[in-house]
Amino acid sequence: MKETLAKFLQYKWSQVILFTVFVAVSSAALFFSQKSVTAFLLLLSSLLILHYIKLKNVTKWIIALGLLFILIPFASSGGPAFQSYMDVATMVGIYVSMALGLNIVVGMAGLLDLGFVAFFAVGAYSYSIFATPQAANFMPFGTYPLGGESFWIFLIIGGVVAAIAGVLIGIPVLRVKGDYLAIVTLGFGEIIRILFNNADKPVNITGGAMGIASVTPPEIFGIPLIFPNQFYFVTLVILLFTIFTVLRLERSKLGRSWKAVRENEIAAQAMGIPLVKTKLLAFALGASFSGMMGVVFAAKQAFIDPTSFTLLESFTILVMVVLGGMGSVPGVILGAAVITILNLQVLTELATWVNQLSFGGVISIPEALSPAKMQKFIFGALLVAFALYRPKGLIPAKNKIFDEKKLKESSTHKDFKTTDQKKIQS
Amino acid sequence: MSILEVTNITKKFGGLTANQDVTMNIEKGSITAVIGPNGAGKTTFFNMITGVYQPTSGDIRLEGKSLLGLKPDEVAKRGISRTFQNIRLFGEMSVIENVLVGMHTGLKTNLLGIFLNLPTTKKEELLAEKEAYRLLEHFDLAPFLNEKACNLSYGAQRKLEIARALATKPKLILLDEPAAGMNPAETRELTAIIKNMGQEFNVSVLLIEHDMKLVMEISEHIVVLDHGEKIAEGNPEEIRTNPKVIEAYLGSGAVQTV
Amino acid sequence: MLLEMLQSLPQVLIDGLALGAVYAVVALGYTMVYGILQLINFAHGEIFMTGAFIGTTFFILLMGMGWVSSVPQIFVLILVLIVTACLTGLLGMGIERVAYRPLRNAPRLIPLITAIGISFILQDVIRFIAELSSGNYIVTGPSLFTDQMTISFSSLSSIFNDASFKTSFLIVLVTAFILMISLDYFINRTKWGTAMRAVALDRETASLMSINVNKTISITFFIGSALGGATGVLFAVQYGTIDPFIGFILGMKAFIAAVLGGIGNIRGAMLGGILLGLLEMFASANLTLLTGGIFGAEYKDVFAFSILILVLIFKPEGLLGKPTAEKV
């Protein structure tokens, strides 16, 4: 029985049929139920299953786009929990994008950056300051807040400013030996948070610990974006752009340089790769994705304060990368999705459930052990367990497979080789 | 015509002098060997040429242009490539990717090209891949192109390092003990490869090697270092019979018996 | 402005010394582990924190027993210090065994990641133990050594203000110095100390000289962690209130101290710790003054990190370290 099933599953069409059934059932369940986190998660996990199905890459991408743009928003719109699903999905998008950015730095270039959230903060604040009256406190010209259309420009500005911050941090840091990098970036992450926390005097730039409230919502064709389902699409588009770019980078000359630097700095340098420049590029590009998503985050929340950008956030993103598989784009996407959902949905759901149980007197779990508070423990355990037993993560990074036939074509080497051999023998 | 001129270079690490007033020329297209007992300062000499260390004094010129003050990557771009005594491959990357990294100095793509996947970038990349494959074929490594470099056998790893170094299209290649740890068959194959390298890849060769059979067979010119100083140079025959060299290798008692 | 700074100087010196002594002993743990394994043991700050909690627990337990009050407090302190040091020492050894040893040949990124993981686990475990037993994770120990003392610097010169401190300051300072001096003796004069230095220099050669490398590394972790735990007790005595998150920032500062002094160098760590404590106290007392009110005391952490970055750029080997070049 087991064997026949295994055999059945090997065929492409049987896989496709099962996949379709799975998607249909989970989306129907999601659509018709009042609130079912399970159905929502199952529908999301169909993307993971899709990753493993034996189909052409192009086909897979088309199916994935269909799922993301049409089916998921439609299926979740059935119940009253629509906006909360969309909110979670948006957060997943934001974190996936950030984790992909960190993956460039940690996974590909092998530089342990423990202050990555700083760039997210830079992006978030750059939009928040100018999309509220805050900017009027120190800007000599212009009227603030800027309108909602400025959001689209700020997506780019946020990315660029974060990239510049990355370079500024990188210049002193990347000269030092690799081990110190972790601690220095950790420090920078804290410094940036402290700066934002205190830059309300002498000139009030960031609102200090109070943060910045009522950030102007983005506008497109005169329609303001307020609801999570609107942000879902904005995030999705940026995320797809991120994935696309990251895949490009990975397979390019630059991606290879990063990996070479990670594998052996001295040899990389001897092959003509400038170390500092290559590392700075990793820092800057990784940071820019984070900065862009910072802008989206600020617009979505409409309120930001320094507590959103703590050390724990930096570590959370690192856990995503380690869990998924350092250097592996699909892995990191999975890792980020799992951790975000764990954080936002599973832990809170579990906490409510446990609360109900103890309230009903079934079991008594003290408040201190409430799952919602166990984040650090869970992250810590995941980090240790994965580093010890699965250092390559859930979906290990794979090297590009080169097609031998394609490379052989038009290779005139054959005869060259034979003459060569003769020469050696003579 | 000489491709590399080293004049009076000295390297001091604190009180320790690793190289003292070493002068040598490498003729274009030639195979030159640097030999000497362990600790004679051969690798330090290589490291100075490739920019890993800066000499305390003296000058190094590639085709008349000084290399002083250049970083290793800049030296590589000027046309000097190298292999390492303790193999330094990019272990987790595939065999062909290792060679492709070597080709980076020749690739002109910029960020924009990568983002937009411009046709020129694509074409350049494909050409590089084909060329890398040809290099692998030349070193009999083509069947392993998608294998991780760290999974290759020791001898194959040494060959891959040479292939990677050649991929930078160097004018001068420095081989640091290329035959170390190889079995006799592999060494024989390597000897042939090095011997033909000059013509096939239009490159001059400078190598450090302890295998005297290999050195004597392929070198046109040999420089002997001992205690950081050059004690002799000449063609293999001259070196073989030079009493100073024999003394350095075998001790002063040996000279009389020879 | 200068006058104001001079006035507060005596108090800055006293507070800086107390903080610096804590940094110095914790920095020793970082520097020892780094010296022997080239690993930044991120969990070390958490071991310090665990020590603070174990110590406080013992104090609360012991003070609850009637007869203890007739024993001089100093003996209670010594007892608690020894027990806590042993326990945290074992904890450190355990962490090495479980989380670092299996990874000794892994890429260097990986043990750093487990170290961060362990540090998270410790923080949360201590948090929920504290919260379970007392309902709150912020714990205040019994107040010990609270007699106020004043050194009248003003009698030296009228520029200075008087400096005041609790007896606990003296206890912290003296104990920290005893710990540092005994460690220095241990490293330089004993058989195991020699073994540790040998393993730090060259693990393989040391093992050929019939040194048990694993055991030596275990001992290094034991001693480093015992020192860290003991300092935690001192910290609890000096500052009274502790929470599970004190270790992280303090640990980072201690690491900065270790780098400042020259990582891997025992005496450097001591020097770096004291120096950083003094600088930091000076900064928090005078930053407002120096920058005309733009930056206040809340920037003292920024100040500490700026020191780290300056050191790394201009003298990466630290004050007492020797420059090393990677062998090619």
pLDDT one-digit tens code per residue, C2-22: 777 777 788 888 888 988 999
Q: What is the pLDDT of residue C327?
A: 58
Q: Do B107 and A275 touch (CB under 8 A)?
A: no
Chain A touched by C255 (CB under 8 Å): yes
Measure Cα distances from C82 to A314, A335, C55, C76, C86 in Å. 37, 44, 10, 10, 6
* Chains touching C, CB cut-off 8 Å, 3+ pairs: A, B
Dig out the tokens for A395 from the structure: 């979906």
> What is the DSSP code (8-state) at residue B176?
E
pLDDT one-digit tens code per residue, A210-246: 888 888 888 888 778 878 888 899 999 999 999 999 9
pLDDT one-digit tens code per residue, A275-333: 989 999 999 999 999 999 999 999 988 889 898 898 888 988 998 999 899 999 999 99
Phi, psi angles (nearest 5°) of residue B221: -140, 140
Domain ranges of chain C: 2-314
Of the listed ranges A19-28, A299-308, C153-162, C170-179, the least confidently predicted one is C153-162
> What is the DSSP code (8-state) at residue A399?
P
Which residues 104-123 in chain A show a CB within 8 A of chain C? 106, 110, 112, 114
Quick count: other Cβ atoms within 10 Å of Cβ A380?
A: 25
Q: What percent of chain A has pLDDT over 70?
A: 93
pLDDT band at C324 (very low <50, low <70, confident <90, very high): low
pLDDT one-digit tens code per residue, A121-180: 999 999 998 888 877 777 777 777 787 788 899 999 999 999 999 998 888 777 766 677
Mean pLDDT score, A388-395: 89
Residues from chain B that touch C328, judged by Cβ atoms under 8 A, are 43, 47, 52, 84
pLDDT band at A422 (very low <50, low <70, confident <90, very high): very low
Following CA atoms A238, A243, A248, A251 in sequence, which dihedral angle do they give, to the nearest 10 degrees? 160
Measure Cα distances from A417 to A167, A183, B130, B160, C222 in Å. 47, 52, 15, 17, 62
Query: Are A297 and A212 in contact, with CB atoms under 8 Å apart?
Result: no
- Helix locations, chain B, DSSP H: 42-49, 72-78, 95-102, 111-116, 119-138, 154-167, 184-201, 212-218, 236-241, 243-250, 253-257
Q: Which residues pair with B148 in a beta bridge?
A: B94
Query: Are A127 and A296 in contact, with CB atoms under 8 Å apart?
Result: no
Question: Which residues, 6 or more positions from C9, have their beta carbon under 8 angstroms from its beta carbon?
Answer: C160
Residue A10 clears pLDDT 90, i.e. is over it: no
Q: Do A388 and C328 touch (CB under 8 A)?
A: no
Residue B256 clears pLDDT 70, i.e. is over it: no
Query: Are C232 and C289 in contact, with CB atoms under 8 Å apart?
Result: no
Q: What is the pLDDT of residue A32?
A: 80
Chain C touched by A391 (CB under 8 Å): yes
Chain A touched by C71 (CB under 8 Å): no
Phi, psi angles (nearest 5°) of residue C151: -100, 125
pLDDT one-digit tens code per residue, B97-130: 999 999 988 888 888 888 878 888 888 888 899 9
Q: What is the pLDDT of residue A419?
A: 39
pLDDT one-digit tens code per residue, C297-322: 777 788 888 888 888 778 878 888 77
Q: What is the pLDDT of residue B253?
A: 59
A183, closest residue in chain C (CA to CA) = C252
Q: How far is C312 from chain B (nearest CA, A)?
A: 20
Q: What is the pLDDT of residue C51?
A: 95
Sign of torsion, CA A111 C312 C251 C202?
positive
Query: Are C294 and A198 in contact, with CB atoms under 8 Å apart?
Result: no
Query: Are A261 and A178 in contact, with CB atoms under 8 Å apart?
Result: no
Q: What is the pLDDT of residue C15?
A: 86
Residues from chain C that touch A321, judged by Cβ atoms under 8 A, are none
- Cα–Cα distance for residue pair C299/A192, rounded to 1 Å: 11
Mean pLDDT score, B144-165: 92
Chain B touched by A400 (CB under 8 Å): yes
pLDDT band at A406 (very low <50, low <70, confident <90, very high): confident
The angle subtended at Cα B176 by Cα B172 and Cα B178, nearest 5°, is: 100
How buried is B130 (Cβ within 10 angstroms: 0-12 exposed, 13-18 middle, 19+ buried)?
A: middle
Residue C261 clears pLDDT 80, i.e. is over it: yes
Of the listed ranges A130-134, A255-259, A369-373, C116-120, the least confidently predicted one is A369-373
Mean pLDDT, chain C, integer: 85
Q: What percent of chain C has pLDDT over 90?
A: 26
Q: Characterize the bridge pairing of strands B229-234 and B221-226.
A: antiparallel
Residue A424 clears pLDDT 60, i.e. is over it: no
Query: Are C16 and C246 in contact, with CB atoms under 8 Å apart?
Result: no
User: Which of A201, A364, A377, A378 should be substituted to probe chain C, the one whose Cβ sees the most C Cβ atoms within 10 Å?
Assistant: A377
Residue B32 clears pLDDT 90, i.e. is over it: yes
pLDDT one-digit tens code per residue, C24-63: 999 998 888 888 888 888 899 999 999 999 999 998 888 8
Q: How far is C326 from chain B (nearest CA, A)?
A: 10
Residue B181 clears pLDDT 50, i.e. is over it: yes
Architecture field, domain C2-314: Orthogonal Bundle (1.10)
Sign of torsion, CA C35 C36 C39 C45?
negative
Q: What is the pLDDT of residue A172?
A: 78
pLDDT band at A413 (very low <50, low <70, confident <90, very high): very low
Residue B175 clears pLDDT 90, i.e. is over it: yes
Query: Are C323 and C263 in contact, with CB atoms under 8 Å apart?
Result: no
Sheet architecture: strand order including B16-27: B16-27, B2-13, B57-62, B65-66
Dig out the tokens for B258 from the structure: 């020879």
Chain A touched by B105 (CB under 8 Å): yes
Q: What is the pLDDT of residue C85?
A: 95
Residue A414 clears pLDDT 50, i.e. is over it: no
Chain B touched by C328 (CB under 8 Å): yes
Query: Are C316 and C260 in contact, with CB atoms under 8 Å apart?
Result: no
Mean pLDDT score, C94-103: 92
Residues from chain C that touch B52, judged by Cβ atoms under 8 A, are 328
Q: What is the pLDDT of residue B254?
A: 55
Question: Which residues, 6 or more positions from A347, have their beta carbon under 8 angstroms from its beta carbon?
Answer: A371, A372, A374, A375, A378
Residue A36 clears pLDDT 80, i.e. is over it: no
Q: How far is A226 from chain B (nearest CA, A)?
A: 32
Residue C125, SS3 per DSSP: helix
Q: What is the pLDDT of residue A425?
A: 42
Quick count: other Cβ atoms within 10 Å of Cβ A208?
A: 16
